Chain A
Amino acid sequence: MRVTTTVNGTERTADDVWPGESLLYLLRERLGLPGAKNACEQGECGSCTVYLDGEPVCACLVAAGQAIGREVTTVEGLADGQSLHPVQEAFVEAGAVQCGFCTPGLVVAAHDLLARVPEPSDPEIREALAGNLCRCTGYEKILDAVRLAARRQATR
C-alpha cells in the first residue's frame, strides 16, 4: 500500500507499506524520523506521542493507513530551525532529561497542554502527563520543566 501524509509540514510518501504497520513504524523505519519512541507499542507509555491533525495520539496505536492525507507533527517538528521550543528548552534546563527515552513523548504532551492551558496547576500537569511513563526521573523535574516552560511562555 502507498501512504502519503504530511509530516512536519512536508508531504511524504512511502511505498509497499504492510497494512498492519503502525504510524510509529512508518515514521521511524520508513520516513527516517525516529524521534517518536517505541517503549511499549501498546498504548501504555506515551513515548510515541505525536500530533495527528493537531491532536496528540499514540503513534503506535494508529495504523499507518489512517494517516493518509492527514497532518502529522512529531517531536522533530517542534523546534523553530536551530532554536528550541520553550518546552524543549525547559526540559533540558530543568534536568527533566536523564536517559531521555520518555522525553519526545513528554515534550509533545507538555507542548499540547501548554497550548490548551497556558498556566496549568500542578494537578492539571499531572493529569495531562498521566499517560507518559518515565522510569528515570520520578517526574519531579518533569513537573519543574513544565512549570518553567509555562513561565517562559507567559513572559514572551
Chain B
Amino acid sequence: MTTTQTGARTAGRIGDNAQRPDGTLKVTGEFAYASDLWHDDMVWGVTLRSPHPHARIRRIDVAEALAVPGVSAVLTADDVPGENAYGLEHADQPVLAADVVRYEGEPVALVAADHPETARRAAARIRVDYEVLPALTDPRRALDDDAPEVHPGGNLVRHLRVRRGDPAPTAPVVVSLDFEVGMQDQAFLGPESGLAVPAEDGGVDLYVATQWLHVDQRQVCLALGMPPGKVRLTLAGVGGAFGGREDLSVHVHACLLALRTGRPVKMSYGREESFHGHVHRHPATMTYEFGAERDGTLVYARADVLLDGGAYASSTAAVVGNAGLLGLGPYRIPSVAVDAYGVFTHNPPCGAMRGFGCVQAAFAHEALMDELAAAVGVSPVEIRQRNGMREGDRTTTGQVIDSAAPVAELLERVAAMPLPPPLETSDLRNLPGAVGNTTHGEGVRRGVGYAVTYKNVGFSEGFDDYSTARVRLQVVAGEAVATVHTAAAEVGQGLVTVQQQIARTELGVERVVVVPADTTVGSAGSTSASRQTYVTGGAVKAACEAVRTAVLQRAAVALGGPVAGLALDGDKVVGAGGEVLAGLADLLGDDAVEETVEWRHRPTHAVDPETGQGDAHVQFAFSAHRAVVDVDVELGLVKVVALDTAQDVGRALNPDAVVGQIQGGSAQGMGLALMEEVVVADGHVRNPSFTDYLLPTILDMPPMRVEVLEYADPHAPYGVRGVGEPPTISSGPAVAAAVRVACGRPLRRVPIRPEHVTGT
C-alpha cells in the first residue's frame, strides 16, 4: 500500500512507473515550448502596460511609435473588434484599457515589429496621457463607505457565509489569533508565450501555453467578435502553470496583431512582464477562534477571511468559496461560523494558484490548532488526531465524507518517520546561513512542526465539470495502435503519461499515441483543482471502454458467438481462457474504431446562500506534513532540515509521478512560508524579478520523505484521488510551526522574515 522509492519500470499500464512520452524531447532540448515557436515571416508583439495602479486615460498618441522603422502595427482599445472584455467568471477585464487603468501593469497598447527590441522601443514611444487617480490599495478599506470604487456596483466580489450548529456556542477553552498571508507568485519557469497565425478563412490559429483551451477560446472569440469555428487553439509546450495560466495573457493580443498585420505574431513575456502578466495568489487577512473542551475536543470555530482580489474578478469568487467552505481544516467541529470575503482593490489581480484558497486558511487554522494544543496541554499531533475527520463525518457544510478521511493515520505516519540527525556544526553547509559563515552553531535552535489539510478535488458548487476524450483503435503496419485525443493541458504534471497508461490498460495495446491537445475535440475542463487524472482520466477510460465494446461486438459477430468472455490483448481478441480467437488486423482491416465520450463526475451542488450548507464537493484529498528546521534565532535565518509527508492518493496510477507532484507541491508551500512574496507597495509591485522574488533553490530544499497511501475512492475512476494540491497546503504551515517552536515567537504572518524571527 505504501510506495516511497523509485521502483522498477515497466511498459506502463496503470500502477506502473511509466516514463513520460515527452521525456526524451525535454532532455535533448527538442520539446517545443510556447516560447520556442517560430514561423517564417513572423513578427513580434509586445504589450505597453500601465505604470499607475489607478488612472484615467485622457489620450493615447501612437504616431511616433508607428513611425519607427520595422513596426507593422500599433493597437489600442479602439482596435478591439469584439467586446473589449474578458474574464474567467465575469468578463470585467478589458483586453486593452479604454478609459481607466485599474492596476499597475494593465495592458494599454500593443506593438508588432520585426524584432522584439524594435517593438519594445516603439512601445516606449507611445504617448499615454494619464490623469492619476487615488488608488484603493488596502483591502481592509475596500468595503468602507468612502472607499474609491474599483468597479461600478461596489468592491465586494463575494461574501460567503457558513453557519452550522449552535449560533451562540460557548466553551471552557477559547483560543484565537489574527493571521496574514502575503501574495505568492506561481513563478512557472516558462514565460507566457504564444504564436497567432492568421488563417485564409479570415480566422486565426493560436498556439499557446495554457491550462484550459476551451475557456480561452470562448474569451478570445468574444473579444475578436468571431465564432468558435474561426478561432482554433492548440496547446503549445507548457513550462509549468500552477494556476497562473488559467486567465488569458498573450491570447487575444497576439490574435489582434496577427489579424491586423496579416502575419504570424509571436509574443513572449520577459520575467518582469510575467509578474504583471498573470494573477497571483490572494493575500489574506484572517481572524480565527476555536472553542474546545478541556481535553481539546473542538466545540466551535469562527473565522473571518478577507482575500484581496485586486483589480479584476478572475477566479476570486471560487477562491472565496474554497476559503469559506474548507477553511477550518480537516476537523470535526459541531458549530461553525465563517465569513469569507473577496474584494476589489487597485492591487494586481489575484486568482488561481495551487491550493486555491485553502493555502491561506491552512496557515491560520494550523497555527491556531497549535495554540489549542498548548492551551490544553497535549501535543500538536494528538490535538489534530483527536479532532481529525474520519470517513462518514460531516464537513462544515454538512456534507458527508463518503470515502477515506485518514487524518489520524496520516499524522501517525509522519510522526513515526525517523527524525534527521541532530545539528552538526562542523560543516557550515548544514547551518542556517550556510557558507555565508554567519554562525558556527551558536544561537541555532531546532524546531519540529506538524500540519494537516484537506482539499476539494475538481470544480465545486454545482459547476458542470466534465471532460471529453476521443479514442481510436486501428491496426497500423500489423500493430494495434490506440490514439487518444483530448483538449486537456499537459503542464508538466504527467497527464500525457497517465492517458497512455489508461489506454494500455483498457485496450491491451502497447502503442498509444497522445495527439496534441486542441479545440477540435470537446472541452476537457481546466488543468487545475487536482482534477485532470480524475476527470480527463475518467473520460479516456470511458472512451476506451466504448471502443473496446465496439471492437468486441464486431468480434462476436465475426466469430458468431456472444460478446461475453471476449477481451482485447495486444493485437488479438482472446477468449475467457486467454485463447486467441481472432487477430485485430483481420477483424478491423483498414477500419478504425473511434469513440468520443463526454464524461462527468457525480454532480456537486450550490450551497445555501444564508448558511453555506450543501454538498458542494465531489471529493476530498488529505495530506499531513512534518517539518524540521534549524533557526538562527539571533539572525533570523532558517534552514529546513527535513520536510516529510504522508498523503492519501486513492490509487497511484503512476507512483513516481505522484511522488514528484508531492515533492514539488511541498516545495511551493515551503516557499510561501519562508521566502516567496510579491511585495506590493501603494499598488506597485516592488520585486518583479527572480533576483528579488526568491524561489526555493536546491540548497534550500531538504530531503523529503513521502509516504503514499492508497485508499481507493469507490466513486472515482480506478479509485483515484487528486494529488497536486494538498502538499502545497500542508507543507507551509508545518514549516511555520517548526520555526515558531524553534524561536518561541508567535509568527502570525507568512512569509516569515528574519526580523519576525528575531523580533527586531
Which residues on A are within 8 Å of B, measured CB to CB? 18, 20-21, 28-29, 32-42, 44-45, 47, 74-76, 78-79, 84, 88-89, 91-95, 97-104, 107, 123, 125-127, 129-144
Contact = CB atoms under 8 A, between A and B. Distances in A.
A133 B695 contact: yes
Given A39-B271, A137-B660, A97 B26 contact: yes
Given A99-B190, A139-B667, A76 B28 contact: yes
Interface stretch (B238-246, B253-261, B383-391, B564-572): B238-246
B578 interface: no
A99 B29 contact: no
A141 B657 CA distance: 10
Contacts of A92: 19-20, 23-24, 26-27
Contacts of B660: 95, 98, 136-137, 141
A52 to B, nearest CB: 16
A88 B28 contact: yes
A142 to B, nearest CB: 7
B29 A130 contact: no
B594 to A, nearest CB: 30
Contacts of B38: 29, 32, 34
A119 B347 CA distance: 50
Nearest to B665: A138
A132 B699 CA distance: 10
B59 interface: no
B697 A101 contact: no
A84 B189 contact: no
B117 A35 contact: no
22 contacts: A36-B29, A38-B191, A39-B239, A40-B689, A41-B270, A44-B690, A45-B690, A88-B27, A92-B20, A92-B23, A98-B494, A99-B491, A100-B492, A101-B190, A107-B27, A127-B699, A135-B188, A135-B242, A135-B668, A139-B663, A139-B667, A139-B701
Nearest to A47: B189
B666 A84 contact: no
Nearest to B37: A34
Interface in B21-53: 22-24, 26-33, 35-36, 38
Given A35-B30, A44-B691, A101-B240, A18 B115 contact: yes
A89 B659 CA distance: 20
Contact of A140 (B9, B35, B704): B704
B31 A84 contact: no
A97 B27 contact: yes
Main secondary structure of the interface of B (DSSP, over half): loop
Contacts of A98: 240, 492-494, 660, 664
B707 to A, nearest CB: 14
A28 B268 CA distance: 13
Given A40-B690, A99-B492, A127-B699, A134 B189 contact: yes
B759 to A, nearest CB: 30
A91 B27 CA distance: 7
B58 interface: no
A138 B29 contact: no
Interface string B659-692: 1100111111000000000000000000001110
A34 B271 CA distance: 17
B270 A79 contact: no
Contacts of A100: 22-23, 26-27, 31, 239, 492
Interface string B414-427: 00000000000001
A96 to B, nearest CB: 8
Interface in B204-242: 238-242
B492 A136 contact: yes
A84 B270 CA distance: 31
Contacts of A32: 38
Contacts of A104: 27, 29
A57 B17 CA distance: 34
Contacts of B23: 91-92, 97, 100
A156 to B, nearest CB: 18
Given A84-B24, A123-B427, A133-B189, A138 B31 contact: no
Interface in B162-183: none
B30 to A, nearest CB: 7
Nearest to A16: B115
A35 B699 contact: no
Given A95-B657, A100-B22, A126-B699, A138 B240 contact: no
B703 interface: yes
A135 B186 CA distance: 9
Given A97-B20, A101-B33, A138 B189 contact: no
Given A39-B690, A42-B689, 14 more contacts: A18-B117, A35-B30, A39-B190, A76-B29, A84-B27, A92-B27, A95-B659, A97-B26, A101-B190, A127-B699, A135-B240, A138-B667, A140-B663, A140-B703
A97 B19 CA distance: 10
B19 A93 contact: yes
Q: Lowest 3 A-B CB distances belong to which pairs?
A: A35-B29, A99-B492, A101-B239
B492 A138 contact: no
Contacts of A144: 6
Nearest to A146: B698
Contacts of B242: 135
B704 A138 contact: yes
Contacts of A79: 28
Nearest to A33: B29
A37 B240 CA distance: 13
Contacts of A132: 697-698
A44 B668 CA distance: 18
B33 A37 contact: yes
Interface in B266-300: 268, 270-271
Contacts of B115: 18
A135 B189 contact: yes
Nearest to B705: A140
Contacts of B308: none
Interface string B572-612: 00000000000000000000000000000000000000000
Nearest to B268: A38
Contacts of B667: 137-139
Nearest to A28: B36
Interface string B476-511: 000000000000000111100000000000000000
Contacts of A135: 186-189, 240, 242, 664, 668, 695
Interface in B694-723: 695-699, 701, 703-704
Contacts of A97: 20, 23, 26-27
B656 interface: yes
B698 A75 contact: no
Contact of B28 (A47, A75, A95): A75
A15 to B, nearest CB: 13
B689 A44 contact: yes
B429 interface: yes
A137 B695 CA distance: 13
Contact of B189 (A74, A93, A102, A130): A102
A32 B30 CA distance: 11
A38 B697 CA distance: 18
Contacts of A126: 429, 698-699
A136 B671 CA distance: 12
Interface in B114-144: 115, 117
Contacts of A20: 117
A137 B663 contact: yes
Contacts of A18: 115, 117
B387 to A, nearest CB: 29
Contacts of B35: 34, 37-38
Contact of A123 (B27, B186, B429, B701): B429
| Residue with the highest number of chain B CB atoms closer than 10 Å, among A39, A75, A125 | A39
